[in-house]
Amino acid sequence: MKFGKELTSQMVPEWQGAYMDYNNLKKLLKDILRFRQQNMVSGSGPTARRGALKRRSTLYRAFSGLTNRYNNVRAGSPHESDDEVILVGSVQQEGSENYYQTTFLRSSDAGGEYEFMYFRALDREFNKVLKFYEEKVQEVKVVAEELSKQMEALIALRIKVENPGSEQRSPSETSSTCPWPPTSKPVAPMDPPKFSPGPKGITCVELFDMNCARFLVLFNLSMPLYMSQSPRMEVIHEVEMTSEGTSRDEQITTENRKLNAGQFKPASLNVLGHVTLNVDPETPVSTLKNVLMSSKSDLSFSTEELRRVEEKLRQAFAEFYQQLRFLKSYCFLNTLAFSKIMKKYDKITSRNASRSYLDMVDKSYLGSSEEVNKLIERLEVSFIKHFANGNRRNGMKSLRPKHKKERHQTTFFLGLFTGCSIALVIGIMVSIHLRKLLDNPGREQYMEAIFPLYSLFGYIFLHILMYGANTYYWKRYSVNYPFILGFKPGTELGFREIFLVATGLSVLALAAALSNLDMEMDRRTAKFQTVTELVPLGLVALVLLITFCPFNIIYRSSRFFLIRCAWHCILAPLYKVTMPDFFLADQLTSQVQALRCIQFYICYYTLGDFTKRSVTFVTGHTYKIFIIVVAIIPFLWRVLQCLRRFFEEKDSSQGVNSLKYFSTVVALVLRTVYEQRRRERDESFWRILATSSSGVTTIFNTYWDIVIDWGLLRRNSNNPWLRDKLLVSNKAVYFVAIVVNILLRLVWMQLVLDIEDGPFLHKKAMIALVAALEILRRGIWNFFRMENEHLNNVGKYRAFKHVPLPFHYADEKIM
C-alpha cells in the first residue's frame, strides 16, 4: 500500500483537515518532475537521443566517497555551503505566534519557481499541523488537570466510605487521630530512601522487602503526572489503608505496617466539603427529581455512591486515553509524512534538502515534545493502580479499544441465507402459478387476513437491508458512524453482519409463508386449520425471543443497544436525548405500516376468529381510531424529543423541528375526521382541510430534509446549491437524491390519503409498495444525514464523546 493511502486509512476521521495535505504536495512534486523531464527532452546530449539508455538523475551526482567524507564535514565548511539548498528558521510577527519559514536558495535555477511554490506549501502545512498539535496538547493538559482533581476527590471518598469514623484533623492532631499508625520521624515525600539495618528479629529477606517497599513508595509519590510546574498535576497519592481488610492485615507483620504507614502521605479529606456529586443515572425518576430540585446532590458516603463515581471516572479515563493515543498517532503520522515527502523531493531534484528540513521538524514542538507520551505512561500507571487493582493486563484491556475482527463464517452464512431466500421466493412464485392461487376465490380473504401478517417482516427486512447498505457506504467514504451513533468500540455491526441478520429474517419469513400456503392448499393438512393460522404468530414469537434473548448470542450487544434506544424513545421526555435515540425515532416514523401490522396482529389473534380468517373488526370505529393513533405515536415521540432538547439546549431550531412533526400529527388527525365525515354533507370542507394540511406537511418535511438535515441548497457554497464539503465526488448524486426525496415525499402522503386499488395490484399490495418506497426514502435520507453530521464533527474537530465527571467543585480555588 502506498503511503498516501496508508495515511488516509490511519487518520482520525474528524481531524482529516488538520493532517498534512500529502496528496497536494505530491502534485507539486509531480509538476517539478514534469518540468525537469521536459527540460531534459528539449536539451542536447546523450539523454536526449531516442533509444538512449535512461539513467536516474541521482546517478549523475558527484561521488561522495566510500568513507562518507562529505557527511562528516564540519558546520560552516565550504563543502557544506556549496551543497546548501534551503534555510529553515522560525519567524515571529507582531501580534502573531511563531511560525516556520523555509528560504529556497536555488530560485535562479531552471524550474526554481516550482520548487519555491513547493516549499511555500510545505511551510503552510507544517505550521498548520504544528498549531493544531499545540492546541490539542494544551487541551489534554486541561483535561488531565481536571481528572487529577477528580481523583483526589475519589481517593478522599474511598477513605471516607471504607473508614466511616475517620475525620480530617489539623496537622497537630494527626499523630493521635490518624487511622494509620504514627511514626516518630515521618519521611518527606521527596526524601531519598534510607536503608536501615532494621530491628532485631527480622531476617535479611524481610529487611530487603521492607527497603524495596520503602523505595517504591517514595518513587510513586515523587512521580509527576506530567512534567509541569503546576502543583495540581502531582501524582495521585495512593493510600494504603489498614481497614482494607482484616485478613490482609493479619498477613502483614506489625513492623511492615508501621513502615508503610510512615511512608504514605494520607490524602486530604477537606476536598469532600467543597464538592457535590453528579452520578445519578439518567432515569425517569431522576429526571423528574431534577425538574423539582437541583441536579447536584450532597455526598452520602455510601458504597453504591462510590461504585458509581468509580464507574464514571473509569469511563472518563478510558476516553481520555483514546484521545491521547489519537494525538500521539497524529504526531507520528505527520512527522512520517514530512519525512516521506522530503525524501521524494530529494529523489526528484537530486538535492539534499531533507536533512535540514527534518532537523527543523525534530527540533520543533511537534518532534521534540514528550508531554503526550508522559501523560500516556502516567495515565496507564494510575488507571492500573486505582481501577484494575494493580493488574496490568486487565487495566490495559479496559483502556485499549477492542478492534472488530472479520470472520469468514459471517460471509459463508450470508451467502447461504441469500441463496436460500432466492430459492424460497422462486418456490412461492411457482406454488402460486401452478395452483393458480391468483384466480382462487379465497384470494381476497387471503390478502385481507394473511398478507398483512407477513408484510410486517417484509418492512423490517427492507429497512435492515437499507441500513446495511448505509453502513457499507459510510465505511467507504470514511464516515465515523460508530462514534456518531454512540456504539461501544468493537461492538458495532459491519455491513456483512447486518446483511446476515436481514437474510436470516427473510429465510424465516419466506419459509413460514411457503409452509402456510402448503398447509392451506394441501388436503392432507387441511384439518390442521388452527396450526396453519398460528404460523405467523409463532414466527413473531421467535423473532421477539431472539431479540430479548439474554444470552451472548446473535449480537447481544447490538440487540440490547437497540432495546435501550427504543425504551428511551417510548419514554422520550424523561431521558436525555442523544443521537441514537432520535435517529431511531426517525426510523420509526417511516415504519407506520409496520406498526399498523402489529396492531393487526393483536386484534387478529384476540378479537377476530383467526381459524376462519375473520377480519370483521377492521370495520369497527375503535379500530379505525387506533389505526390513526398508532400512526401518530412515532411523530409524538419526536415532538417530545425536540421539546426536551429545546428546553435543555436553548436551541430554537429544535422548537421549529417539533412544529414540523406536530404538523404531521395534525394532518393525521384531520384525515381521521375526514374519514369519519366522508358521507356527510360537509365532506368537501374536511377534505379540503385534510388535503391542505397534508400538502403543508409534505413541503415542510421536504425542505427540512434537504436544507437542515442534509445541509444542501447553499447558494454561496464552494459547490453551488450543495455545501462546501462533499464526501461523494460525483455531485450529480446529490441532485438525484434531492429529486428522489421530493418524489418519495409526495408518495408519503398516502399516510393521510387513502390509496384505492391500482389497475394491476390489490389495495393491500399497493399500500405495501408505497410503504416500501417510504423505507427506501428513509435509507437515502440516512446516508446524507449521517454525512452531514460527520462533516459537522470534522469542522469542529469533535472526535471524542464528552463523559460527565462525577464531582462538581463549588470553589475552584481550594485546589
SS3 content of the chain, % helix, strand, coil (to 5): 70, 5, 30
Region of residue 659 (left: phi > 0; alpha: psi -120 to 50; beta: else): alpha
Question: What's the rounded Cα separation, in Å, for the pair 632 and 669?
Answer: 8
Read off the pTM: 0.79
Q: Considering only 295-309, 535-549, 551-565, which range has the smallest mean pLDDT?
A: 295-309
Residues 237-291 have pLDDT tens digits of 333 333 333 343 444 344 444 434 445 566 677 777 778 877 666 677 666 666 6
Question: What's the rounded Cα separation, in Å, for the pair 372 and 647?
Answer: 39
Question: What's the rounded Cα separation, in Å, for the pair 101 and 120?
Answer: 8
Write out the DSSP string of 711-755: ---BTTSSSTTB-S--SSS-THHHHHHHHHHHHHHHHGGGGTS--
CA quadruple 37, 38, 44, 49: dihedral sign: positive
Which pLDDT value is given to residue 488? 85
Kindly indicate the confidence band of residue 110, based on its pLDDT and cuts at 50, 70 and 90: confident
Whether residue 663 contacts residue 700, with contact meaning beta carbons closer than 8 Å, is answered with yes
HSE toward the beta carbon, residue 345, CA cutoff 13 A: 27
Which pLDDT value is given to residue 496? 94
Write out the DSSP string of 143-154: HHHHHHHHHHHH
Q: Which residue has the higher pLDDT, 613 or 697?
A: 697
Residues 568-626 have pLDDT tens digits of 999 988 888 999 999 999 999 999 999 999 999 999 998 877 878 888 888 888 888 88
Which pLDDT value is given to residue 219? 40
Kindly indicate the confidence band of residue 72, based on its pLDDT and cuts at 50, 70 and 90: very low
Task: For the chain, give the number of residues.
Answer: 815
**DSSP at 280:** -
Query: Which of 123-137, 425-439, 513-527: highest mean pLDDT?
Result: 123-137
